[in-house]
Structure 1
Amino acid sequence: MHDRILERIKAYDTIIIQRHVRPDPDAYGSQVGLSEIIKASFPDKQVWVVGDEDPSLTFLAEMDTVSDYVFEEALVIICDAANQPRISDQRYKIAKEIIKIDHHPEVDRYGDIQWVVPTASSTSEMIYELYASHPELELTTRGAMLLYAGIVGDTGRFLFPSTSEKTFHYAGELIKYPFDRTVLYEKLYASRQDVARLQGYILQNFTLHETGVCAIRLTKDILTTYRVTSLETSQLVGTIANIEGVKAWLFFVEEEEQIRVRVRSKGPVINGLAGKYNGGGHVFASGATVYSWDEAARLERDLQEICRHFEAN
């Protein structure tokens, strides 16, 4: 697969790299880390990165503005996007050829080439593996920083079960490059005072059921009161993770026309549940969307049933 992907990269003068909407460090890291590898290895190629931006992560990279006609003759590589509706910038559909590189469980086969490894800790880990498999490829210090940021973000600083011996090995190779890890960590995990105050609200208002399901509802009014955006709430998903007795937890965030749900677990498998509610993701970390608080309550009851069954086994 590495050889097939490199062969297609060599075949195109124009390459556009994309990823999922609402980017996290792994989305940025894999997307822009790959662009750094291609640009350093093949300086005559035009390489673009496109998609929506998260203001808290623009220190990692800023996106390019690309005209429609550029897509028509381009190879598009889509990183870290399991299904097509979540791809940021739907113009990939007019590209000449599409490659999918992803580490989520496969629910949507798209593209001319699919490289999907659900056991990988992150798509950034996969991009490093692609680089390491071909001595002719070059990796810049900035590229190493981006890939490391992606691995750190998707492993929860190497705490999540997806972290493997390979993950640590690749991280060890990446930190040989002279970027400042301390500064990187500070920027990745910095939060505004308003976000910190909302964290206090969460710790005072969560609901913990006897099944081990913990939930917090952040309405539009609460977000307005604390002056925090829906996007910024992603920084707080782990707030209730270490509370004693929690087996799985739900973060409900009300937006204008929907309620975004972040689902996390310490053991019960939850990506099937997320799929039932307009979402999907990993076995222990998924996202969903509901359209009323009644539907949110049904999702919460369904998660409780999953935890009861898990407890019984």
Structure 2
Amino acid sequence: MTEIFNEIMEEIEQYETIIIHRHVRPDPDAYGSQLGLQGYLKAKFPHKNIFAVGEREPSLDFIGTFNDIKDEVYQEALVIVCDTANAPRVSDSRYNLGQKLIKIDHHPAVDQYGDINYVNTEASSTSEIISDFINYFNDYSIIDGSIARLLYIGIVGDTGRFLFNNTTPHTMEVASQLLTYDFNHNEELNNLAEKDPKLLPFQGYVLQNFDLNEQGFCKVIITTEVLEQFNIAANEASLFVNTIADIKGLKIWLFAVDEGNEIRCRIRSKGIVINDVASDFGGGGHPNASGVSVDSWETFEQLATALNNKL
């Protein structure tokens, strides 16, 4: 850690313009690590130009906003990509227009696309890594509650409020340090959990239409017709991937949403490695939380069979 954190900071110090990216279909950790790093670098280097870019996810608007910059800004810039395992998933394809590229991530290293790659799969989240980065340089004294809030949200999001098995003693130490800053963590937890009332009938549909077998494998299939029936978007449907997580006997579940041009499959498990299966189908992710995009329901069934065979 020591050597590569120093290497990353040396690059940051050399550039006047730094542009921070993260992955498509962002989650709280993507937002938290990206915006948290932006806030920290602005505090440490107030005269540098620090931008955060990427598409907006309406359900996460409460976390923060992003910059709209022109292509020429990249010409002499350092680009940092947070929380993104492979290059095709980087939000905003201009990430490779900069002079140098740094990857900071906690997903298994599928694609080392940066000039500098820091991947720590033992970290609960990339927000935890950014917190460690700040701490390594003894810079907790220069951040404030707004930055601590972002990193805390990212950690909470990727640990499922500290319920997932990626929560370590170190994760709790980092979270407790962030909680010493002035922000309302109860309000942030409520913001993360809240859903638009119009979505709740869809939640009812999920609870009434899951397919659980005796081995503990479960499928949830959301077709375009279902999305139209409940008048929700595919990204809104994805918010309910863990709706069935508390079912007794559940071991692996596959939540599939037809997005029109592809079927996005989110895979979750309780203590069973499933990212190897995801990788076999062109996806990836964490051992217990992965994703795959397939081109047909036929391929989806093949994926389902492979996951069921894990049991």
Same fold (TM > 0.5): yes
Residue 70 (structure 2) pairs with residue 67 (structure 1): yes
Which residue of 273, 277, 288 maps to 2:277? 273
Deviations 1:246-270 (A, max 9, x none): 1100001011111100000012211
Q: Structure 1 stretch 271-280 or stretch 133-142: which is displaced more? A: 133-142
Q: Which residue of 2 aligns with 1:23?
A: 26
* Kept after mapping to 2: 8 A contact 1:36/1:140: no
Which residue of 187, 198, 201 maps to 1:194? 198
Residue 129 (structure 2) pairs with residue 98 (structure 1): no
Which residue of 258, 264, 269 maps to 1:260? 264
How is 1:216-227 mapped onto 2 (pairs within 5 angstroms)? 216-227=220-231
Which residue of 160, 164, 172 maps to 1:160? 164
Q: Structure 1 stretch 168-177 or stretch 202-211: which is displaced more? A: 202-211
* Kept after mapping to 1: 8 A contact 2:238/2:257: no
Q: Structure 1 stretch 32-41 or stretch 58-67: which is displaced more? A: 58-67
Please report how far the alpha carbon of residue 278 of structure 1 lies from its aligned counterpart in structure 2 after TM superposition.
2.3
Which residue of 122, 137, 143 maps to 1:139? 143
Q: Which runs of 4+ in 1 moved over 3 A?
A: none
Query: 2:200 corresponds to which letter in structure 1?
Result: A
Paired residue total = 307
Please report how far the alpha carbon of residue 234 of structure 1 lies from its aligned counterpart in structure 2 after TM superposition.
2.4
Residue 17 (structure 2) pairs with residue 14 (structure 1): yes
Please report how far the alpha carbon of residue 192 of structure 1 lies from its aligned counterpart in structure 2 after TM superposition.
1.2
Q: Structure 1 stretch 290-299 or stretch 36-45: which is displaced more? A: 290-299
How is 1:1-313 mapped onto 2 (pairs within 5 angstroms)? 1-136=4-139, 138-307=142-311
Q: Where does the alignment leave 5 or more consecutive residues of structure 1 unmatched?
A: 308-313
Root mean square deviation, CA, Å: 1.0
Q: Distance in 2 between matches of 1:227 and 1:148?
A: 32
Q: Distance in 2 between matches of 1:3 and 1:93?
A: 23
Q: TM-score, normalised by structure 2?
A: 0.97
Q: Distance in 1 between matches of 2:63 and 2:139?
A: 25
Please report how far the alpha carbon of residue 271 of structure 1 lies from its aligned counterpart in structure 2 after TM superposition.
0.5
Query: 2:154 corresponds to which letter in structure 1?
Result: G
Q: Distance in 1 between matches of 2:92 and 2:298?
A: 32
Q: Which residue of 2 aligns with 1:311?
A: none
Q: Where does the alignment leave 5 or more consecutive residues of structure 2 unmatched?
A: none
Q: Distance in 2 between matches of 1:214 and 1:241?
A: 10
Identical positions, percent: 47
Q: Distance in 2 between matches of 1:105 and 1:58?
A: 28
SS at match of 2:137: coil
Please report how far the alpha carbon of residue 136 of structure 1 lies from its aligned counterpart in structure 2 after TM superposition.
4.7
SS at match of 2:308: helix
Please report how far the alpha carbon of residue 85 of structure 1 lies from its aligned counterpart in structure 2 after TM superposition.
0.2
Q: Distance in 2 between matches of 1:61 and 1:274?
A: 31
Q: Distance in 1 between matches of 2:153 and 2:244?
A: 23
Query: 2:34 corresponds to which letter in structure 1?
Result: Q
Q: Structure 1 stretch 57-66 or stretch 148-157: which is displaced more? A: 57-66
SS at match of 2:277: helix
